[in-house]
Structure 1
Amino acid sequence: MTREALLASWHDHLAQARRRSPHTVRAYCAVARRLLHRLDLESWDSVAALDTNALRGQLADRRAEGLSNASAARELSALKGFVGFAREQAGVPAAGAPRLRGPRIKKGLPRPVTPDEAVNLADTVHALAADEWIGARDRAVLLLLYGAGLRIAEALSLKLGDLPLGERLSVTGKGGKQRVVPILPIVAEAVADYAAKLPFLLDADDLLFRGARGGPLSQGMIQKVTARARVVLGLPATATPHALRHSFATHLLGAGADLRSLQELLGHASLGSTQIYTRVDAASLLETYRNAHPRESRD
């Protein structure tokens, strides 16, 4: 079996069985390719035979190239996943898989934007667009992120056949996990407005959001137009598309939503991932207190 055949199988497993995002698939395949070439491996048996020392050596080489702690942790996750997949293909028991801890990563709190900033971002990307339909497209995507708490990949996975949007939308998220999210009238109207202005003929199974030349819209383009809009609005670099999803969660929690409901809306696999928003909300309250309390303002 050739290396390219191994990589093709790994790619299909990630993209189809695991339903990972295109970005993750590319990154994990790049990690596997480096491992295969460095150790001259060309079969599932040879990959499955790798032990902890082999993975530690691969990671050490990458750290010598200047890999950060966060990147090293992601690289290790990809390595362990690839070796685990190889063991399945080779029929090797999973119990003996290599065990290796990655570097500790200090997680920072998400940086949400205010409700006004979220709406202003959506309106500004619309105003800055070269064509009216592109502006309507960018506004619709950002409102899906803020109004429904979608990930960018989830918003861009909408198909023409999903329209018209009703009060609820079924979304397939990470790991193929499905959830139902509420759709606000302003979000449904923005998506419908874009669809009415779309200059391309699409079938029901085609992706709804398209690039300027008619191909599927990329996440990078949404990040690019958001970056330009935040400069115009004077917002910090933390005002990214993904920050709109953080804002959705933080604002719902501040309005009284319980953590279990929020976990379902966000599609988090564990409650621990959702609990970080309690810290965000507490931090926001503290900042408001410091800015508004008479004694604090005099100090």
Structure 2
Amino acid sequence: MLAFELLQQFLGWMKDSRRASEHSIIAYQQDLTRFLSFLTIHFGGEPTKQTLSDVSHKDLRSWLADENDKALSNPQLGQGRHTQDAAIRTRRRRLSALKSFYRYLALHHDIENIAPTLLSTPKVKQPLPHPLSQEEATALSKDIAIIDESPVAQYRDIALFTLLYGCGLRLSEALGLDWIDLHHADLNAEGGMLRVVGKGNKERLIPILPMVAEALLQWKGQYPGVTEGKEPVFIGLRGKRLNPSIAQKTMREYRRMMGLSDLATPHALRHSFATHIMQNGGDLRTIQTLLGHASLSTTQRYTLMDEAHLLKIWEKAHPRAHQEKKL
């Protein structure tokens, strides 16, 4: 059997049995296709099941070296998102995909090869989140309406950005909501309890604050269509589900108008949600549950943010913070 056929079986298994998201499937396919394409050149022919079984640790290191050479030769390296840390994260992801593929091969095709497990995973510095201040986030959820002249779009944008900040949703999660989801949330003026499907099709429950409920109900009153069933909550001018790029463009225009940092993105509202809970006494486990993080280590970044916040307060308020050290 050809290795590319095994790859297609693996992708199907990840989708059906492991419930991997569409984005994850695409990433697995791209990363492992690069690996199999390298093997085609490396061994001088299309790889087979036996090739995958015979791949050595040296062969895998050659693949990683080839990937590293391609990354370093990228003319965009150092520009925008094409940083050294980004290259390391890409390498981590590809190694993870390779190891998952070989675990599948061992379970379902009797291919036992320990070479992938001998590869060390490169460490990457986790960037700290970049939240807005509480004042900036609160003002945004009200003032975002100034970007669009259409009253319908204004109510929509207020509801969307209030939801992002008030519930800590990813933009894709918010735009993926249907009216039936809000019906099941028992949305009312006092709030509700929203069930969200996040990464890896994992479900979590998030309380809807009264301020979020008010924005959603006002948007519901202006919604140019039927607010029930599988109709999307957030729609564009043509009545279709709102494209993420429209929300991102609205945020770009707002931050330029208000003089905010370029790091003020829709996702920054999710960071703001978590950071502000932390600053007001929330515990890590609660924040992990609300954000839908699979690992607590991901959530722990917000403790570093809180420490940085406390340090700034100390430097501003402590009488000895700005005194020069005496020799």
Query: Is the pair's TM-score, using the shorter chain for normalization, greater than 0.5?
Result: yes
Secondary structure of the 1:65 match is helix
Which amino acid in 1 is paired with 2:128?
L
Q: Does 1:127 align with 2:132?
A: no
Match of 1:190, SS state, is: helix
Alignment partner, residue 286 of structure 2: 261
Task: Give a deviation string over 1:114-160, Cα, whole Å, max 9, x none.
Answer: 12211333334332135333333333232222111222222222122
Residue-by-residue CA offset, 1:151-190 (whole Å, 9 max, x unaligned): 2222222122112443211222233332211111121222
Q: Which residue, out of 145, 153, 158, partners 1:139?
A: 158
TM-score by length of 2: 0.77
Deviations 1:32-83 (A, max 9, x none): 2222333235666655654444433333222212262222222322333334
Question: Which residue is 1:77 aligned to?
Answer: 96
Partner secondary structure for residue 239 of structure 1: coil
Are 1:153 and 2:158 matched, yes or no?
A: no
| 2:70 paired residue among 60, 65, 70 | 65
Deviation at 1:238, TM superposition (A): 1.9
Structure-to-structure mapping, 1:155-234, within 5 angstroms: 155-164=174-183, 165=185, 166=187, 167-201=192-226, 204-234=229-259
Q: Which amino acid aligns with 2:98?
A: L
- Structure 1 gap segments, 5+ residues each: none
Q: Decide whether aligned partners of structure 1 residues 264 and 55 sit closer, same or farther in structure 2, where only a CA change above 3 A counts.
A: same
Between the two proteins, the alignment pairs up a number of residues equal to: 299
Distance change >3 Å, CA 234–CA 204, structure 1 → 2: same
1:38 corresponds to 2:38: yes
Runs (4+) of structure 1 exceeding 6 A deviation are 1-4
The DSSP-based 3-state class of the residue aligned with 2:195 is strand
Q: Say if 1:35 and 1:94 are closer, same or farther in 2 by CA, change over 3 A.
A: closer
Distance 1:228 1:94, change over 3 A: farther
Deviations 1:224-266 (A, max 9, x none): 3222221111111222222211211111122112222222222
Residues 32 and 94 in structure 2, CA contact (< 8 A), matched pair in contact too:
no
Scaled by the length of structure 1, what TM-score is found? 0.83
Q: What is the one-letter code of the residue matched to 1:114?
A: S
Root-mean-square deviation (Å)? 3.1
Residue number in structure 2 paired with 1:100 = 119
Q: How many Å separate the matches in 2 of 1:3 and 1:134? A: 50
Identity rate of aligned residues, in percent?
Answer: 38
- Give the residue type in structure 2 aligned to 1:76: L
Alignment match, 2:136: 117
Write the letter of the residue equivalent to 1:194: W
On the 8 A contact 1:48/1:86 being kept in 2, the answer is no
- Comparing 194-203 with 108-117, greater Cα deviation is found at 194-203
- Counterpart of 2:313, as a letter, is T
Q: Shift of residue 17 of structure 1?
A: 4.2
- 2 CA distance for matches of 1:215 and 1:44? 45
Q: Distance in 2 between matches of 1:39 and 1:2?
A: 12
The alpha-carbon distance between structure 1 residues 95 and 79, as it changes in their structure 2 partners (threshold 3 A), is closer
> For residue 126 of structure 1, what is the amino acid of its counterpart?
A
Q: Amino acid of the residue matched to residue 136 of structure 1? A: Y
> Following TM superposition, by how much is the alpha carbon of 1:285 offset from its aligned partner in structure 2, in angstroms?
1.5
